Structure 1
Amino acid sequence: MAEGEGRRVLVVDDEPALVDVLATSLRFLGYTVDEAVDGRAALHAARENRPDLVLLDVMLPDMDGFEVVRRLRAGGSGVPVVFLTARESGKDVVTGLDLGADDYITKPFRLDEVAARVRAVIRRTGAAAAPQVLRCADLELDTATYEVRRGGVLVDLSPTEYRLLHCLLLNRGLMLTKEQLMDRVWDYGEGDPAVLKTYVSYLRRKLDALGEPLIHTRRGVGYMLREPEPEGT
């Protein structure tokens, strides 16, 4: 069995030639490789393809790699991250590691070094990336199967509805502003709030058909998912 068989890596760099070299090298070792050349594409690929590791350049055209990691972590992703960068500043290294990066490689680098770091980080963090089942009352979301159930009944959600519910469950009991939800679910913070309102309505309709309301609104602020209040309170 090839060393990377069954593992998926996302390579993110604004230099297409470098992305191609890294992707080709990792594919030769058996990894499945996804590619992105900016931060938004990276966030989309990480969310949709669920890689085992992200090789991430710090300098990207739309947002830096640090912001990509912030958004991944804010959205609940614990995917291991290895930064690739030409920067040598100790401050940048500390920033990346403080944000939850797992390793840091400075350009120029050898391909065998990158492969060794990828192998070591995946081996070290494999147990930490185990799937979760998120719960609130009788609602369950399984991150391994992407299935949502309420009271044991399977709830059919669109990808956007799933991401919205996942974000609310990760922050159960906390009021999330409209801006926070737009940023974490759609990867941008200045979209039309009407889009968020529409998807909250879709999600409520499906969940409330199976039990008491779980998603609550604070007018002018945002939304919260919490367990129903006990009767008599």
Structure 2
Amino acid sequence: MSEAALPQPTILLVEDHDDLAATIGAWLEDAGFAVDFAADGAIALNLVGENDYDAIVLDLMLPRINGIRVAEKLRDDGVATPILMLTARDQLDDKIEGFNAGADDYVVKPFETEELIARLRALIRRARGETAEGQLKVGDLVFDPRLMRVERAGERITLSPTAMRILKVLMRESPRVVSREQIENELWGDTLPDSDTLRSHVYNLRKGIDRPFEHKLLHTVQGMGFKLATPEDA
């Protein structure tokens, strides 16, 4: 099905500055999105509980409940909707905090309208592109792309949608090494994020699937990329 034939994507824009929210909302509507607005984190959580969104544009600095807490709450509740964080904070630690909370992408203010729209479309396209594939297994790690469900040794693991997409690439190619470039191309295509983004998502993926367990599956191959392999194949 072509992108044009897909249902109109609906975005939840969470931004507490009215003028900026109106401007971004107008840009998104002009680009073909339907837009709901939330002026604080509590309203955003209520709206997500009542509606299905294709993506969430989430400001970091919000009244009542900030963007980090909103993202964490959504992921804890099993909400897999892609989250794009929109913020003036551009330090690496801020980005890592956002990705750790469950964000899939990060755009720093001020930004170009075209970049925001391109990143949103890429997030939605990837989320809608999940097909009825069979389960993927590497050792005791199991991923069902249809249900967006990850388990290891029978224990449910919560990952962000982007971490799941990285996991799918690595499991599909296991035990071969997958280059950074291949992962970035499959995830972001031509709209590549900055160099810290993939590293942050891989860190979160490793924390989810390896840290609680005795044997690690995710390996960094210096100068080449990453691979997912059991101890026997590593």
Q: Which residue of 2 aligns with 1:40?
A: 42
1:121 to 112, 120, 123: 123
Structure 2 residue 31 is matched with structure 1 residue 29 = yes
The 5 A counterparts of 1:103-182 are 103-128=105-130
Distance 2:106 2:31 in 1: 21
How far 1:31 moved relative to its partner? 1.1
Distance 1:25 1:70 in 2: 27
Matched residue SS, 1:84: strand
Deviations 1:167-189 (A, max 9, x none): xxxxxxxxxxxxxxxxxxxxxxx
Report if aligned partners of 1:5, 1:30 keep a CA contact under 8 Å in 2: no
Q: Which residue of 2 aligns with 1:15?
A: 17
Q: Which has the higher contact order (CA 8 A, sep 6+)?
A: 2
Normalising by structure 2, we get a TM-score of 0.52
Larger Rg: 1
Distance 1:129 1:42 in 2: 28
Normalising by structure 1, we get a TM-score of 0.52
Report if aligned partners of 1:3, 1:29 keep a CA contact under 8 Å in 2: no
Distance 1:27 1:89 in 2: 30
Report if aligned partners of 1:53, 1:79 keep a CA contact under 8 Å in 2: yes
Report if aligned partners of 1:4, 1:30 keep a CA contact under 8 Å in 2: no
Q: Which residue of 2 aligns with 1:69?
A: 71
Which deviates more from structure 2 when the two are superposed, residues 121-130 or residues 19-28?
Answer: 121-130
Deviations 1:62-112 (A, max 9, x none): 121010011111222111000000001111101111222110000011211
Distance 1:128 1:107 in 2: 30
Structure 1, unpaired ranges of 5+:
131-233
Distance 2:89 2:5 in 1: 30
How far 1:125 moved relative to its partner? 2.2
Structure 2, unpaired ranges of 5+:
133-234
Matched residue SS, 2:32: coil
Deviations 1:134-183 (A, max 9, x none): xxxxxxxxxxxxxxxxxxxxxxxxxxxxxxxxxxxxxxxxxxxxxxxxxx
Distance 1:65 1:81 in 2: 10
Distance 1:121 1:107 in 2: 19
Matched residue SS, 2:35: strand
Moved over 3 A (4+): 1-5, 127-130
- Identity over aligned pairs, percent: 39
Report if aligned partners of 2:69, 2:101 keep a CA contact under 8 Å in 1: no
